Amino acid sequence: MCGRFTLASDIDEFLRQYDIEVPDPLKKPRRYNLSPSQPVVGLVADPHLRLEVMEWGYLPAWAKPGAGMHTVINARIESIAEKKPYFRGAFHSARCAILADGFYEWKKIRGGKQPYRITLKDGGVFAFAGLWSHVNTGDGSERATCAIITVEPNELMADIHNRMPAILTPADLSVWLDPKARERDLYAAVEPYPSDLLRAYPVGTAMNSAAHDAPDCIAPIIDDEA
Q: Give the C-alpha separation, 51 to 19, whole Å.
A: 11
Active site residues: 2, 105
CA triple 162-188-151, angle to 5 deg: 15
Q: Give the C-alpha separation, 16 to 13, whole Å.
A: 5
Q: Give the C-alpha separation, 126 to 170, whole Å.
A: 8
CB 104 within 8 Å of CB 116: yes
Amino acid at 160: I
Cis bond before residue 47 (omega within 30° of 0): yes
Largest CA distance in the chain: 53
Spatial neighbors of 47 by CB under 8 A, at least 6 apart, are 179
Q: Are strands 95-100 and 39-45 parallel, antiparallel or unpaired?
A: antiparallel
CB 72 within 8 Å of CB 57: yes
Amino acid at 223: D
Q: Residue 198, Cα to own-chain centre: how many angstroms?
A: 16
